[in-house]
Amino acid sequence: MAAGFPLETIVLDPAAPANLPRQIYGQLRALIEGRSLPSGSTLPSTRLLAKDLGLGRNTVIAAYDQLALEGYLRMRKCAPPLVVDLPARAVRTGMPPTAPAGRISERGQIMLSQPHHSGRPGHLALHPGMPDALNFPFNTWSKLLTRRAKHAGHDLFGVYHVTGYPALREAIARYLAASRGVACNPEQIVITNGAQSAFDLLARIFIDPGDSVWMEEPGYYGASAAFLSAGAKLMPLVVNDDGWQLDPPTTRPRLAFVTPSCHHPLGLTMAMEQRLTLLRLAEDGNFWVIEDDYDSEYRFQGQPIPALQGIGGANRVVYVGTFAKMLFPAMRLGFMVVPEAIRDGLAAALSTTGQFAPLLTQAALADFINDGHLTRHLRRMRRLYAARRGHFMEVFDRYLGEWMRLRRTETGIQLVGLFHRNIDDRPLAAAAAARGVNVSALSMQYRHGRPRRGLVMGFAAVDERATLNAIERLRAVFKESS
């Protein structure tokens, strides 16, 4: 047995995403880098460690081999493995540093401290805004990708189409004209890595430090994070049960951010009168409007409302769309429709950030749209989500009605439950996450004044049984905390 080897610090989790050899490797590496296992010390033999951990010997051999391959261990015949003497400067401590090694800019500090909500793989039930990726037609998708990869021309391999693959831009322009009333030519469309990279790019282009942004309150924390990171001050554009409170702002903003088709997170739709008022204010105040149309494909009652961009906003409005809900978020494909005035410089701006999307994926998506698969997929998902929404609303009232009132809004794939009592929603969301229920706290979307408390919950990602199971677990969390 190796002298002083801290065997008990190795804790394995069979449910973790990393397999067991990877977990052993990672923990031993951290011990070596942190000098808890100093150079010259020995590790137990593979047989001994396997026995102590109750694992097959091959599992430990795989971990040791990787450490030896990377130069952390020296394997020896008839002697236990030896920890190698690493040069001091190459060593990372494995511990959080007490002080940063270099200075972090103010912008960097803002970026590093932004709230975000991501969840864990497998915890899909109630995940806000998450579509059902398992119902995505992966067979079709892989055929289209393979076909493009096999027959790709040189134009898919170089940095040629920085603002987007032409066939995809054309397909999106046709889709938007038909389904969202967006008036544009394909040259105005810029493909991005999801909506978030559009917000980041627009923030950098439009905002100087200290500029004001008229931001929905409550409003999407991803967009707030991009504006704050560019140095903006946020002015609240209050959204409540009466809609968007469009009293002219006291300071002239550089831009306004709105989600008029489906307010995030409250799910309201902006009335035509408010749309026209916003466009008039933007004209009078000479500011840009970012229209985030992230969830409008799913409307469960009434007719779709045309985009702001298409009702007279073409010069002021940057329309942002995403395939995060139509396909799935990790596809990282989105787009913007930009006014002619800023179109020409965008290739240079995108080249500066490096945030342009892989062309092979763009080409496959163009085929997916042009061959009719997107329309078919959306038709199926609308039917499926309508049924899941109905079920969610029914079981919500039965199991959670005692603690929350559900806002029965008609667009999008998430709903908000408002607490009857003013209890803190963040610890409650954290307790739910600990039980594998991925909901987000409503208060996270507020930045000014007193937030409303509640939970944002998705209903689309999993079937009725899994939803019911998650709602039961959420009920248990409420019971424990009351």
Ligand X SMILES: Cc1ncc(COP(=O)(O)O)c(C=O)c1O
Q: Would you state the structure tokens that stand for residue 136, as one six-digit string?
A: 């995505």
CB of 322 to ligand X, least distance (A): 3
Closest residue to ligand X, Cβ-based?
A: 194
What's the rounded Cα separation, in Å, for the pair 330 and 138?
A: 14
CB of 332 to ligand X, least distance (A): 7
361 binds ligand X per the rule CB under 6 A: no
Burial 309-318, CB ≥16 within 10 A → b, else e: bbbebbebbb
Distance in angstroms (rounded) separating the CA atoms of residues 207 and 231: 7
Residue 319 backbone phi and psi in degrees, to 5: -90, 130
Which range touches ligand X (CB under 6 A), out of 2-10, 191-199, 360-368, 459-467?
191-199
Q: Which is nearer to ligand X, 141 or 294 (CB)?
A: 294
Alpha-carbon span 314 to 64, nearest angstrom: 61
Of the candidates 452, 457, 427, which has an alpha carbon nearest to the alpha carbon of residue 439?
457
Give CA–CA dist 307/294, Å, rounded: 12
Q: Which residues make Cβ contacts (< 8 Å) with residue 47, sequence separation at least 6?
A: 57
Nearer to ligand X, 81 or 458 (CB): 458
Among 188, 259, 361, 362, which residue sits at the site for ligand X (rule: CB under 6 A)? Answer: 259
Q: How far apart are CA 76 and CA 46, in angstroms?
A: 12
For residues 127 and 121, give the distance between their C-alpha atoms in angstroms, rounded to a whole number: 11
Burial of 256 (0-12, 13-18, 19+ CB in 10 A): buried
Please, which residue, 42 or 192, has the CB nearer to ligand X?
192
Candidate residues 25, 206, 220, 319; the one interacting with ligand X per rule CB under 6 A: 220
Q: Is 196 one of the binding residues for ligand X (CB under 6 A)? A: yes
Nearest distance, CB of residue 329 and ligand X, angstroms? 5
Q: Are 234 and 114 in contact (CB under 8 A)?
A: no
Binding ligand X (rule: CB under 6 A), the pick from 123, 264, 299, 388 is: 264
> Which CB, 83 or 195, lies closer to ligand X?
195
Interface with ligand X includes 263 (CB under 6 A)?
A: no
Q: Does 260 bind ligand X (CB under 6 A)?
A: no
b/e sequence 346-385, b meaning 16+ C-beta within 10 Å: bbebbeeeebbbebebbbbbbbbbeeebbeebbeebeeeb
Q: How far is CA 417 from the centre of its chain?
A: 21
Span near ligand X by CB under 6 A; candidates 45-53, 96-104, 171-179, 321-329: 321-329
Name the minimum Å distance from CB 197 to ligand X: 7
How many whole angstroms separate alpha carbon 439 and alpha carbon 459?
11
Residue 218 binds ligand X (CB under 6 A): no
| Cβ nearer to ligand X, comparing 44 with 458 | 458
Q: In whole angstroms, how close is the CB of 373 to ligand X at the nearest point?
A: 20
How far is CA 225 from each of CA 116, 129, 199, 231, 476, rounded to the nearest angstrom?
9, 18, 9, 10, 33
302 Cβ contact list (under 8 Å, min separation 6): 410
CB of 295 to ligand X, least distance (A): 7
Least distance in angstroms from the C-beta of 277 to ligand X: 22
* Residue placing its CB nearer to ligand X in the complex, 73 or 201: 201
What is the pattern of x (binds ligand X, CB under 6 A) and - over residues 274-303? ------------------x-x---------
- Residue 19 or 179: the one with the smaller Cβ distance to ligand X is 179
Q: Does 194 bind ligand X (CB under 6 A)?
A: yes
Nearer to ligand X, 5 or 319 (CB): 319
Task: By CB under 6 A, tell whether 451 contacts ligand X.
Answer: no
CA distance 330 to 84: 39
Is there binding between residue 117 and ligand X (CB under 6 A)? no
Provide the minimum distance between the beta carbon of 13 and ligand X in the complex, in angstroms, as a whole number.
28
User: According to CB under 6 A, which one of 37, 195, 400, 413 is a site residue for ligand X?
Assistant: 195
Which stretch in 77-85, 134-142, 194-202, 390-398 sits in contact with ligand X by CB under 6 A? Answer: 194-202
- Please report, as ranges, the residues that interact with ligand X according to CB under 6 A: 129, 194-196, 220, 259, 264, 292, 294, 322, 324, 329, 334
